[in-house]
Structure 1
């Protein structure tokens, strides 16, 4: 057995496999530990919108409650304005104080209206739901104080006495949460992450195997023909690969907002962008380019917004995410699977990413051709 183990260890491919596994540990540890280190400190980047439709409700009370929350509080004029911002994921929750809120409070019928967009990473929903109770209690106390003070004044109690007695009296206020694009099934909530993970890893492995095939064809055909063949294979394969993923999403999932064709075509474009990106490092460095692709994979899985909202990362990682195709893949998939805004912007970004990746590939092939020609000339001169 010892000789068998030794024989394996003498093979370069065995050593490369071990080193690759070590590099995965190293790259993911460096990227993820540094990327997630500031997430808790950045919850202030979450935005909650307040819409006050009650003229009798004092804005100062809302401001004092807002100061107790670790989020950025913004004021909006109408519930529709807040809803539009929710759809675009510009805010994470809206709180509406409806008309006649103070009057209804006297009868115990006051209702605080919340809205949360569930077409987001699961973390957003869980965090905002935990905020609802705390926020309701805070506004409930403030509203009860104001409403009781008014009631006591109407009973001919002096204003000073009313203000002293009001905090001791509590009048309950209920809350109503309106969920935009509700996602009931956890498996569906995780679908964008699964599709990003499967698509990118599959693209990496496919590009690696195509690179190995290309190495075996050196001399049989020119670099430009090989590059053209790669692009054609990538384009054709992206439609086939995405069809399989889309079929199973529709078979096993539920509550899918988009049509089969729209999900299939968008996933095809995303996979083609991944394939075009992954082949650059392999064209440049050969199979060693997998180290670059592993780093890109780690970065995109971290910053895409599939697990943690992008705004919670530091400026460095959030900035990087704007240049990586997985970011727009996640945004588009959430809108298609759960519901949301038009995906045309995400489609354009993926097209741009694919185009830039193809141009980079053309540049690498042209550069290698120039180097090869110079090498041939130098050999000919020596001869």
Structure 2
């Protein structure tokens, strides 16, 4: 009976109820979002893009046509190897296939030719695996077209990996720079919200809000600086110190603004909203699976969230290649929009009038 009474007392407390809600909500929302988002991803290979360059002006047209018809991807003919690799470097295509000059002649006359496949190491793991497997399959099929009865196969696949890193710890860095700031500032804003609840009777809402902004601004500058120093001292990062620091400040600012907005809009239920965004952001970040292969509902959500922009930008910083501008602009717009909505919501809240105790006449 005493134990039952203690359980009843625990259930009467708000933190206990909130903890139970989290225990139910978190695994449920991760399961629902990931199962619906990743469902059928392997069947969406046709959403991937390859650039095809034909340098064999004599007989390469037949090979190029065969690849364009039989590759299960969207194929675009590129005018030159340089243009195709520039698009691959910027993430606009997922693989580049180059038919070298005199490839068909070398296969028929010398029995030796190479078809060159370029893959960007900053692509998602699934995309890299699919592209490498498809390279071998396409090459084997091309041999039956160019030299039908030749043995051994005269055309061989040459894989060229761009923007590679040798250290596994470095390959994890984009997730550290793009995702962990969200978890860190989400936890921080939980504590700041509790502190604001304690102090709201002593200080006005605007004074509390702007006091928090000063602290958050300090975090936005100092923590990215520390991360940039660590990255440049201990890891191989293609971006400069100033690029890492500046971009990471944008990531922190966007994560802070979004997680803060959740508390402004939903109060104590803010953590639930912030956790709701975690599986969506991890799924659309593009490091596990290309966002173009997700179900249509989730395909474009990442452009409006801080983590996907942070991870994709961090990939450019770590691996090199591509531009940070689009991701930096997106993070800046997310920050301004979320912070502006927070200010608007606070301005619309009506403060309860102060209660003045009435003294009874003696």
* TM-score, normalization by structure 2: 0.90
Contact 1:144-1:170 at 8 Å conserved across structures? no
Distance 1:109 1:80, change over 3 A: same
Query: Does 1:100 find its partner at 2:81?
Result: no
Partner of 2:239 in structure 1? Answer: 258
Secondary structure in structure 2 of the residue aligned to 1:306: coil
Partner of 1:365 in structure 2? Answer: 346
Contact 1:88-1:341 at 8 Å conserved across structures? yes
- Displacement of 1:55: 2.1
What CA distance in whole angstroms lies between the structure 2 residues aligned with 1:84 and 1:94? Answer: 10
Residue pairs, 1:124-203, within 5 angstroms: 124-145=127-148, 167=149, 171-203=153-185
Please say which structure displays the higher CA radius of gyration. 1
Moved more, 100-109 or 201-210: 100-109
What CA distance in whole angstroms lies between the structure 2 residues aligned with 1:313 and 1:134? Answer: 24
Query: Does 1:27 find its partner at 2:9?
Result: no
Distance 1:169 1:202, change over 3 A: closer
Query: Does 1:281 find its partner at 2:262?
Result: yes
Residue pairs, 1:63-82, within 5 angstroms: 63-82=65-84
Q: CA RMSD in A?
A: 2.3
- Displacement of 1:365: 0.8
What CA distance in whole angstroms lies between the structure 1 residues aligned with 2:279 and 2:213? Answer: 24
Query: Does 1:228 find its partner at 2:230?
Result: no
Contact 1:119-1:183 at 8 Å conserved across structures? no
Distance 1:121 1:253, change over 3 A: farther
- Displacement of 1:81: 1.2
Secondary structure in structure 1 of the residue aligned to 2:119: strand
Contact 1:183-1:189 at 8 Å conserved across structures? yes
Partner of 2:54 in structure 1? Answer: 52
Secondary structure in structure 1 of the residue aligned to 2:286: coil
Contact 1:280-1:357 at 8 Å conserved across structures? yes
- Displacement of 1:306: 2.7
Partner of 2:122 in structure 1? Answer: 119
Partner of 1:298 in structure 2? Answer: 279
Moved more, 123-132 or 62-71: 62-71
Contact 2:177-2:310 at 8 Å conserved across structures? no
Contact 1:112-1:174 at 8 Å conserved across structures? yes
Moved more, 313-322 or 212-221: 313-322
Partner of 2:360 in structure 1? Answer: none
- Displacement of 1:101: 1.6
Contact 2:186-2:256 at 8 Å conserved across structures? yes
Contact 1:95-1:115 at 8 Å conserved across structures? yes
Distance 1:184 1:132, change over 3 A: farther
Contact 2:124-2:288 at 8 Å conserved across structures? yes
- Displacement of 1:345: 2.2
Query: Does 1:204 find its partner at 2:206?
Result: no
Secondary structure in structure 1 of the residue aligned to 2:175: helix
Partner of 2:44 in structure 1? Answer: 42
- Displacement of 1:128: 1.6
- Displacement of 1:183: 2.2
Partner of 1:316 in structure 2? Answer: 297
Partner of 1:2 in structure 2? Answer: 3
What CA distance in whole angstroms lies between the structure 2 residues aligned with 1:236 and 1:335? Answer: 26
Moved more, 67-76 or 82-91: 67-76
- CA-to-aligned-CA distance 1:127-154 (integer Å, 9 cap, x gap): 2221221121122222224xxxxxxxxx
What runs of 5+ residues in structure 2 fail to find an aligned partner?
A: 357-362
- Displacement of 1:58: 5.1
* TM-score, normalization by structure 1: 0.85
What CA distance in whole angstroms lies between the structure 2 residues aligned with 1:308 and 1:252? Answer: 28
What runs of 5+ residues in structure 1 fail to find an aligned partner?
A: 146-166
